[in-house]
């Protein structure tokens, strides 16, 4: 079942001469965004993904090991 957003996006991509493969990729990305945020694309602001990626980056830095420990001993 195609949503209103999917239809609108496909029409816009067709007007811009994008291939069918690109159209499918973009629609899939929007579907994933919708699933992750539980919001329609118009309700997701630029701030929302920025906060998510910043949080992910900060969590990774908090729990990451120093490079020399995480990469293990170097061969000799």
Domain boundaries, the chain: 4-64
Q: For every one of its 76 residues, what pLDDT tens digit does the chain have, with 9 covering 90 and above?
A: 568 888 988 999 999 999 999 999 988 887 877 777 788 777 877 777 787 778 778 876 655 444 444 444 445 5
Burial of 38 per CB tally in 10 Å (0-12, 13-18, 19+): exposed
């Amino acid at each position: 079942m195609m949503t209103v957003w999917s239809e609108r996006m496909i029409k816009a991509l067709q007007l811009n001469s994008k291939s069918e493969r690109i159209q499918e990729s973009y629609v899939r990305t929007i579907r994933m965004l919708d699933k992750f945020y539980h919001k329609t694309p118009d309700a997701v602001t630029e701030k929302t993904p920025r906060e998510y990626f910043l949080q992910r980056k900060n969590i990774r830095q908090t729990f990451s090991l120093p490079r020399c420990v995480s990469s293990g001993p170097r061969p000799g």
